[in-house]
Structure 1
Amino acid sequence: MDIEAAFHVVGEFGPYQKRAVTVLVLAQVYMACQSMLIVLVGATPQYRIDQPDGVQFSQQELPQHVTFTEEVDSIVTEWFLIRQQAYKVSLAGSLFFAGLLVGNVVFGPLSDKIGRRPVYLTGLFFEVVFGYVTAFAPSFEVFAASRLLVGLMNGGIGLVCFVLTQEYVGKSYWATTGTLTSMTFAVGIALFGALGYFIRPWRSLAVVANSSGVLLFLLSVTLPESPRWLYSQGQTERAEEVLCYMAARNGNAANSLMLRRVAAAGQHHRRQTGVLQLVIHPVLRLRTMVLMYVWAGRRKSMASFLCLAGSACLCTMFIPENTGTLLSVTSLALVGKLMVSAAFNIAYVYSSELYPTVIRNAGLGVCSMSCRVGGILAPFVPSMRALHTSMPFTVFCLSGLSAGCLGLLLPETLNRPAAETLEELSSPTHGRVLESKALLYEDDKWKSNHK
């Protein structure tokens, strides 16, 4: 049988998979805390400088003349990151997100080549180590370097963690596990805010936020390798062992489970997989170009969510800002934000369905990279109000509408098997872009109707 049929025998989302996915989903809380750490540990309290008229202090003399008027313990108060040194707080945050960007690109292809489990465990281990370096950093320079390395690990294992939640279960549950992952990351941000309320010293906060990673690492050691990745690499015997292990923990008998042998194809793909295939392969090239622009949901969902977001932004251009009714700029902007969030939640699930297992993480890494670049450019959009008050909403409107239209170039994946190898993309089921009505039926029914 193929891998999807095997999951029907093993159990698509049995008790064992639920426990494994729970561990991976909880890892999102830890990664969210690391992502938001600089917001609290970099807080700048009110201060005054006792500086007589005409007297200039050097940076070394400044601590003797500064008095912080708020009881805040942060890297600002410890290393006096004020005045000319205030940029260092933003620098530390930027270094983290720079590491995040590089981690997305580097760890994705690496996990496609050597496996999901070793990359995930190694990345999580070093993120915990560098997280403690952050907490006990003796100087700002060490602190900034540790944030860069934590971001590198965080960006890498975030993608691998998400893909594992998909590849441990049957395809019909990918939307469920993907949505849980996105939701839990948002919950982690909220929990970190509450944690910061009760733990004020920044070093203590960094230690507590990082210590949950130790528990997660110990729980993650027991997780198996992705059976889908093993199958796509031609390691069918190991894939069978993992599936039988899952079946036993789920209480299902799978003694006679035997996968279709794809050893030759697996060896071939180990030589030809990589980021370069996203450019060389014609199907992957089109999908990657579109996804890098839209980074949005299933074809029908994407068109509706993004076009609704663009339409909401368009409507704000013709409504006065001080309108007191429900139909105001604020309410419409929130509707647009709701639609964008819905589309973004589907982005990971849909992208993982479009890319074959042998190159899934590399594709997600490139798409995520484009998302990070978009996040860098987005803060500059509000400054366009200097040209015209409606200009920011015009930009968001056009990007939403164009992304929704471009999404129509991507195939529907609902109720269709996910591709495991690059060769499968050449089949009509996976390779076609625009679908005719007849091809929406099952292949055997389509053939019987057109004999």
Structure 2
Amino acid sequence: MADFGEILRTIGDYGLFQKLLITGLCLPSLILPMHLYSVMFTHSSSSHHCNTDWILEVSPNLTTEEQLNLTLPRDQDGSFKRCEMYTPVAWDIDSIRKYGINQTITCKDGWVYDTSVYRATIVSDFDLVCEKANFVGVAQTLFMGGILAGSLIFGPLAESLGRKRAAQIPMVLMAVFTVGTALSPNFYLYIAAQFVVGVSYGGYRLNCIVLATEWIGITRRTYPSALIQFLSGAGQVVLAGIAYYIRDWRKVQFVIASPVILVLFYIWLLPESARWLLDSGKTEEAKKLILMAARINKRKVPDNILEKVSNKKKGERGTIVDLFTSPLLRKYFLTLAFSWFSLNLSYYCLTLNVGKFGMDIFLTQLIFGVVEMPAQLLCIWLLEALGRKITVVFTLLVGGFICLLILAVPQDNAIAITVLAAAGRFFMNSAGTICNVYIQELFPTSIRQTANGLGAMATRVAGMLSPVLNMLAVYHWTIPILVYSGLSIAGGAMCIILPETRRKELPDSTEELERKLCASLTQNDASQLSGVKHQSLRDTKL
């Protein structure tokens, strides 16, 4: 029986067919970060104060400065209070000027927003200020919760429906509900639409990597994950430009929905994973796709390979139970899940604070996007030169220590903090790519998507907790940094126990994986024992 690695080597493991597939799957990755990072702009708060136009009915010729001085109390620092106003009185303007107003109330006629930076955000459109200020964090958490739900739903769904369907359905949902987000008349419909957009984000991101990886040979297996992350950085750069020139959140939603609709025209042409089809017993469909791939790659498939494909028996479907009943798989999965969680917690905490580093938010976002692109090019080289294990340990440890260095920088040094934050994201982004590759290579086809889905859930839980962790800065600004930096360092240390998977065939079953791992461990033990014997023999001769 030919394994799928042999089939790929026969039809071409990285020919024109694979390049077209990667192009089709990765183009949406230029769009996906726009949905994620648009949160920073659409949720941005601007300066605001109570609407006090009541005094203009008393004296319509007041200047703006006079109006504010007569109707708004001040904080201790001299700025106007944002959530309080003087109680309206039925006096003439001379009496107001002479005696002043002493009693205050909360804003009763809405707010006036500064539009010098943003013409409209969800904060200004839905009045998410004062007692509703925490609603912004709720919106961010629900969006991240949608990404978590997408991983939870579309991970196992890909095992039954296939990788292709589990990648197509999310794109349809994203197109429909991004437009729905832009048309939302109130906050509650907005967060409902954004939740579904998050579901589609998590579902597509999860399945496009697996679909691409299962068609590619061992020498180019890092490409899909790295290219997706590279395009994610490019998408952030494009978004910074869009948000800079279009400072209305509804228009931005329409703009980022447009390319998703274009993707829908070709996504139905994507091929299914032949590896999944064979494992599901659909040999005829797999055979047609294998022949098509060989034809596009200008290769011929020997009859003996086709005969082996036709005789391929349906594999046993794996479940979550299989993932946790195997001590070896359980140990590796929990290690990867924790590392993935910790690096994403750091990444999202830094990302959601993009407007709080002291520099212009558009420039900071541009820097963040530009930095991620060379990170992926370096990541591809490191993965092939050093392997998966050393690289993931290195990036997590270095990234965690760089984030800790933020504590040593004065809070008013915006440039130094931004540089350290960008460097921290550089290494966390690289570590995320490695974990994406690792989880594809470490787990068998029968439970690969289940493991990938559960692992992605850990990243989405991190995304949900990051706004909450950032809120702890009100108690002390060092708390979030200490937590996410410490967890990243711990995750890097734990990855030392993982096996190396560089240039090894993807396993198709749990038994095959455990057999290969045991054989690898036995060979290592044997080589170590042989080394000890040779050393003892040399000592004896001396």
- The aligned residue for residue 303 of structure 1 is 393
Gap change, CA 1:244 and 1:320, over 3 Å in 2:
closer
- The aligned residue for residue 35 of structure 2 is 34
Instruction: Select the residue among 273, 293, 298 that pairs with 1:246.
Output: 293
Contact 2:5 2:505 in 1 (8 A): yes
Instruction: Select the residue among 402, 405, 414 that pairs with 2:502.
Output: 414
Deviations, residues 77-110 of structure 1 (Å, cap 9, x unaligned): 3333332333333322221111111111221111
Contact 2:395 2:427 in 1 (8 A): yes
- Would you say 1:22 and 2:27 are equivalent positions? no
Deviations, residues 339-398 of structure 1 (Å, cap 9, x unaligned): 433322211001110011121121112222222333455563895897897x87765665
Which amino acid is 2:199 matched to?
A: L
- The aligned residue for residue 109 of structure 1 is 156
- Would you say 1:275 and 2:363 are equivalent positions? no
Instruction: Select the residue among 437, 462, 474 that pairs with 1:349.
Output: 437
Deviations, residues 211-233 of structure 1 (Å, cap 9, x unaligned): 11111121211011011111222
Length, aligned pairs only = 429
SS of 2:314 mapped into structure 1: helix
Gap change, CA 1:35 and 1:69, over 3 Å in 2:
closer
Which amino acid is 2:43 matched to?
A: G
Q: 1: CA distance between counterparts of 2:138 and 2:476? A: 29
- Would you say 1:6 and 2:7 are equivalent positions? yes
- Would you say 1:154 and 2:201 are equivalent positions? yes
Q: 2: CA distance between counterparts of 1:182 and 1:107? A: 20
Matches within 5 A, 1:30-429: 30-51=31-52, 52=71, 53-55=86-88, 62-63=109-110, 66=112, 68-70=114-116, 72-254=119-301, 256=303, 257-258=305-306, 260=308, 266-267=314-315, 269-270=316-317, 273-295=318-340, 298-309=388-399, 337-377=425-465, 380=469, 398-429=486-517
Contact 2:24 2:270 in 1 (8 A): no
Contact 2:26 2:228 in 1 (8 A): yes
Q: 2: CA distance between counterparts of 1:392 and 1:145? A: 28
- The aligned residue for residue 535 of structure 2 is none
Deviation at 1:209, TM superposition (A): 0.3
Deviation at 1:415, TM superposition (A): 1.9
How does the TM-score come out when normalised to structure 1?
0.83
Gap change, CA 1:193 and 1:137, over 3 Å in 2:
same
Deviations, residues 399-425 of structure 1 (Å, cap 9, x unaligned): 445433322322111121110122212
Gap change, CA 1:425 and 1:307, over 3 Å in 2:
same
Gap change, CA 1:320 and 1:194, over 3 Å in 2:
closer
How does the TM-score come out when normalised to structure 2?
0.70
Q: 2: CA distance between counterparts of 1:401 and 1:395? A: 10
Deviation at 1:150, TM superposition (A): 0.9
Contact 2:171 2:264 in 1 (8 A): yes
Which amino acid is 1:66 matched to?
A: V
Deviation at 1:158, TM superposition (A): 0.9
Which amino acid is 2:198 matched to?
A: G
Deviations, residues 314-356 of structure 1 (Å, cap 9, x unaligned): 7888x7869x9xxx99977766554433322211001110011
Contact 1:411 1:435 in 2 (8 A): no
Which amino acid is 1:36 matched to?
A: Y
Contact 2:142 2:464 in 1 (8 A): no
Gap change, CA 1:375 and 1:43, over 3 Å in 2:
closer
Deviates more, 1:431-440 or 1:351-360: 431-440
Q: 2: CA distance between counterparts of 1:183 and 1:430? A: 36
Which amino acid is 1:19 matched to?
A: L
Q: 2: CA distance between counterparts of 1:404 and 1:245? A: 42
Gap change, CA 1:321 and 1:130, over 3 Å in 2:
closer
Deviation at 1:262, TM superposition (A): 8.9
Larger radius of gyration: 2
Q: 1: CA distance between counterparts of 2:394 and 2:234? A: 26
Deviations, residues 51-98 of structure 1 (Å, cap 9, x unaligned): 352248888x634x6354536122333333332333333322221111
SS of 1:168 mapped into structure 2: coil
Gap change, CA 1:38 and 1:388, over 3 Å in 2:
closer
SS of 2:505 mapped into structure 1: coil
Q: 2: CA distance between counterparts of 1:388 and 1:143? A: 31
Q: 1: CA distance between counterparts of 2:7 and 2:272? A: 16
Gap change, CA 1:217 and 1:314, over 3 Å in 2:
closer
Deviation at 1:113, TM superposition (A): 2.0
Deviations, residues 231-276 of structure 1 (Å, cap 9, x unaligned): 2223233222111111112222236342645978635x23xx2223
Which amino acid is 1:46 matched to?
A: S
SS of 1:276 mapped into structure 2: helix
Q: 1: CA distance between counterparts of 2:195 and 2:122? A: 16
Q: 1: CA distance between counterparts of 2:17 and 2:166? A: 22
Contact 2:401 2:485 in 1 (8 A): yes
- The aligned residue for residue 445 of structure 1 is none
Contact 1:235 1:263 in 2 (8 A): no
Question: Any stretches of 5+ residues in structure 1 without a counterpart?
Answer: 441-451
Which amino acid is 1:412 matched to?
A: E
Deviates more, 1:208-217 or 1:419-428: 419-428
Q: 1: CA distance between counterparts of 2:209 and 2:114? A: 43
Contact 2:37 2:236 in 1 (8 A): yes
Deviates more, 1:291-300 or 1:353-362: 291-300
SS of 1:26 mapped into structure 2: helix
RMSD: 3.4
Gap change, CA 1:124 and 1:393, over 3 Å in 2:
closer
Deviates more, 1:116-125 or 1:331-340: 331-340
Gap change, CA 1:133 and 1:401, over 3 Å in 2:
closer
SS of 1:306 mapped into structure 2: helix
Gap change, CA 1:388 and 1:431, over 3 Å in 2:
farther
Which amino acid is 1:407 matched to?
A: C
Which amino acid is 2:453 matched to?
A: G
SS of 1:436 mapped into structure 2: helix
Gap change, CA 1:321 and 1:16, over 3 Å in 2:
same
Contact 1:236 1:259 in 2 (8 A): no
Deviations, residues 7-59 of structure 1 (Å, cap 9, x unaligned): 11211111122122112111112211111233222333333323352248888
Q: 2: CA distance between counterparts of 1:40 and 1:384? A: 21
Percent same amino acid among aligned pairs? Answer: 26
Q: 1: CA distance between counterparts of 2:186 and 2:296? A: 49
